Chains A and B, each alone.
Chain A
Amino acid sequence: MEKVTQLLGEVNVEEHKQEKNYKNLLGKFGSLFALIILMIVLTFLSDKFLTVTNLMNIARQSTINALLALGMLLPILTAGIDLSVGSILAVSIMVMGVVSVTMGMHPILGILVCLLVGAGFGLLNGVLLTKLRLPHPFISTLGTMNIARGLALIITGAAPIAGFPYMIQYFGSEYVGPIPVSFVVVLVIYFIFHIFLTRSQTGRYIYAIGGNKEAARLSGINVDRVLIIVYTLSGLMAGLAGLMMVGRVNSAFPLAGSGYELDAIAAVIIGGASFFGGVGTVWGTLVGVLIIAVLRNGLNLLNVSADLQMAVIGVVIIVAVFVDVLRQRRSKASS
């Protein structure tokens, strides 16, 4: 008997190792391979693609979606969703515009206000979900999506605000060497989120809640608190994305960020996160963001119309998820 136990234990461990290697390769790096192949193909199709200027261009263009997608990753990990990020972006920059341009206050205060408004709306999402016990974040964030957009329009009567001080524009427009500051910010924030999600208690709870909410609750985890943090961070990232956007276009307009939530969701899913929660990584999301950005850039270089680009991205989303489904089916069959 004893021996059987031992043996079975060993078998389990061995099996696991094999499967893990297999999964690691395809699961973790599957979308990375896709990105690399995409870049190789584009290099052949257009000689403008693989140049430092163009690559930095892609990096710069990807930053807004990178931040929104990173924020979006958290709700999706908990088997939720945040539809309001595009609107939160808009209301954050409109308020920042009022504070730092119309009222002429110190730029640092403007930046702080921008981030606070973002985080504040995120907090509202979290509270609506957990305290009012709205049944699903799709609903609570659909509500705040409209509220935030409405407020963004009301603030200036739908007029844009231009002429932001240099310090505010700095993040979205300047370079360190050839690298856009905004992309450096993205990398730093991604690294912090990586540590947060893999090494901190709250980070692991986010996965636990996505994996099995009831089990998490019965393990003594304060699920409401974690969810509030999740949505607040998502809102904060929307505010930060807004800051980058103002730097890029040197103005704030109330319809900014419309539909951006969908690109963010697409990036998270292409990056391998599961819509059912509990599965997904920060780096996977970054790859998802870059795939979309490279694709857009490449299609532009090839003079493909914006309308067709949209359709292509749609196909990519479906293919990416389908490949993931295939992979899971196969690894299930092999285990």
Chain B
Amino acid sequence: MTKPLLEVKEIYKSFANNHVLKGVNFNVLPGEVHVLLGENGAGKSTLIKILTGAYSMDKGTIHWEGQAVKIHTPIEAMELGIATIYQELNVIKELTVYENIFLGREVKNSKMGLLNRKQMIEKAQDLLIRLGQNPKLATVPLGQLGLGQQQLVEIAKALILEAKLIIMDEPTSCLSGREVEQLYKIVDQLREEGISIIFISHRLEEIQRLGDRITILRDGYSVETLPVSETKPDEWIELMVGRSLEEKFPKKQFERGDVGFSLKGFTVEASHAPIDLDVHYGEIVGLSGLVGAGRTELARAIFGADKRAGGKIVIDGKEVKITNPRQAIDAGIAFITEDRKSEGLLLDLPLDINVCLANMKKFAGRTKLLNLNKMKEQAKRYVKEMQIRPNNIELNARNFSGGNQQKVVIAKWLCTNAKVFIFDEPTRGIDVGAKVEVYRLMNKLVEEGKIVIMISSDLPEILGMCDRVIVMNTGRITADLPIAQATQEQVMKAATIGL
């Protein structure tokens, strides 16, 4: 057997009295893609933050190329050859692509000690080509790129380091289909070059596609390490949640009712063709398309978050006037935004206020003062109903794992008693078990007579949960298919047609 590149033994870590890691063991071989799988809050991100020196561990040992090492700071991790692409991208939007790539590793002129921009730009261009990108991007401010390209910049950063191990924490959770494929190719290429990869993901298909071995974490323990090709996702899930999961998409059929929500001649931007859309009671409508197809823009315009150029919004046959989010909420629209950190949560405030934020009125008594106990109870109810973990409503939103944060955002909108739910990428970054819960929740909403629209870049999820799929492409609707007739190919074609 080859010697492991990295070996961790009996790692422990707690935050105050929250014991997050309680004995984690695993090793990574040279040139392998090693998958970490576990529920939201199982401690995956915490584990890798320890490996990269962002957190310090309470107990345990780390061996690197056979040597015992201590990693205190991100710099020490990099010097060993460990590079990381965090769950939340860590890029600087104000700097250009090449400056981001070389951040902390700048090339200097030998004489004056000033930066050698020419050489850095050239090297960055080479890297961009190696990653299948347009080399011209090197001098573009990073803030102007899409998320997928921003992430490639992070990979380029790792390549500059000549890292031997690249850790990717849910790298595909915010990418569109096309970008995901591109990332897979890059991962394959890196593996061929002998670089090891720790890959964290909640998407079972991609684990099967990419992984060599898989280590399963549950409640802070490493349960087992298995070869990917010789085992089945069902086995992993069982190890991960301690029980088996019957179905991935618990789709329930309901009778299709009247039209409950429509857009008439709706134009987000004056230059775009108007959009007409009818959503019926009893159905879930999926909005598919590439990232940048204009789905989020449409949702934001409906919600009054951005100004629209024209058109009407009709709920239950009555036109509603929406020019700002307050009016949208009063009209009964809920918008579960895709970026929970910047748009969904008050990160430094506890759960109760986060849950009750969009509907504070409900908790104000006759005196207009808030009934704090009522707010806490409401939050507790959702924490229980949605199995948010840890089940501590005093904890600030920042300290929850990604998946649990997402549940909090959904709880916030449930709390408004809305009638129309627009979900934007609702299952991004949440584990298989939690996904099923979100789907069940959608079923329940439909059953209770709500309108549900789901924007998603995860095609299997659209095909598995929706009754109708609407494909958008550069601001237009290019297909409207009943699910029985929708295939992966058809949707992709409509999403890329004319591009």
Residues of A within 8 A of B (CB): 1, 4-10, 12-13, 15-16, 19, 195, 199-201, 204, 207-208, 210-212, 214-222, 278-279, 335
Task: Given the known inter-chain contacts A13-B136, A204-B99, please indicate yes or no for A218 contacting B90, CB distance below 8 A.
Answer: yes
Is A212 a contact partner of B75 (Cβ separation < 8 A)? no
Is B144 a contact partner of A279 (Cβ separation < 8 A)? no
The count of chain B contact residues (Cβ–Cβ below 8 Å) is: 42
Is A9 a contact partner of B137 (Cβ separation < 8 A)? yes
Apart from A12-B134, A199-B117, 14 more pairs, CB < 8 Å: A7-B499, A9-B136, A9-B137, A12-B149, A13-B134, A15-B144, A199-B114, A201-B106, A204-B95, A212-B90, A215-B90, A219-B103, A220-B74, A335-B144
Is B92 a contact partner of A4 (Cβ separation < 8 A)? no
Is B93 a contact partner of A211 (Cβ separation < 8 A)? yes
Task: With CB as the reference atom, state the residue of chain A lying closest to B149.
Answer: A12
Residue B374 is within 8 A (CB to CB) of chain A in the complex = no
- B151 to chain A minimum Cβ distance, whole angstroms, is 13
- A88 to chain B minimum Cβ distance, whole angstroms, is 28
Chain A residues, CB < 8 A from B105: 220
Task: Given the known inter-chain contacts A1-B178, A218-B86, A219-B157, please indicate yes or no for A12 contacting B144, CB distance below 8 A.
Answer: yes
Residue B84 is within 8 A (CB to CB) of chain A in the complex = yes
A204 to B74: give the CA distance in the assembly, Å. Answer: 19
A19 to B104: give the CA distance in the assembly, Å. Answer: 28
Task: Given the known inter-chain contacts A9-B134, A208-B103, A218-B74, please indicate yes or no for A16 contacting B92, CB distance below 8 A.
Answer: no
Chain A residues, CB < 8 A from B157: 219
29 contacts between A and B (CB under 8 A): A1-B178, A9-B136, A12-B140, A13-B134, A195-B114, A199-B115, A199-B117, A200-B115, A201-B106, A201-B108, A208-B94, A208-B99, A211-B94, A212-B90, A212-B91, A212-B92, A212-B93, A214-B90, A215-B91, A216-B92, A217-B74, A218-B54, A218-B86, A219-B90, A219-B157, A220-B73, A220-B74, A278-B93, A335-B144
- A193 to chain B minimum Cβ distance, whole angstroms, is 13
A1 to B54: give the CA distance in the assembly, Å. Answer: 38
Q: Which label, helix, strand, loop or mixed, suits the secondary structure of the A interface?
A: helix
Chain B residues, CB < 8 A from A211: 92-95
Q: Which label, helix, strand, loop or mixed, suits the secondary structure of the B interface?
A: loop
A80 to B133: give the CA distance in the assembly, Å. Answer: 36
A251 to B174: give the CA distance in the assembly, Å. Answer: 63
A282 to B499: give the CA distance in the assembly, Å. Answer: 42
A1 to B52: give the CA distance in the assembly, Å. Answer: 35
Residue B496 is within 8 A (CB to CB) of chain A in the complex = yes
Task: With CB as the reference atom, state the residue of chain A lying closest to B132.
Answer: A5
Is A16 a contact partner of B115 (Cβ separation < 8 A)? no
Chain A residues, CB < 8 A from B146: 12
Residue B182 is within 8 A (CB to CB) of chain A in the complex = yes
The 7 closest A-B pairs by CB, nearest first: A9-B134, A215-B90, A278-B94, A211-B92, A211-B94, A220-B104, A220-B75
Is A16 a contact partner of B144 (Cβ separation < 8 A)? yes
Residue B242 is within 8 A (CB to CB) of chain A in the complex = no
Residue B365 is within 8 A (CB to CB) of chain A in the complex = no
Chain B residues, CB < 8 A from A219: 74, 90, 103-104, 157
A12 to B292: give the CA distance in the assembly, Å. Answer: 11
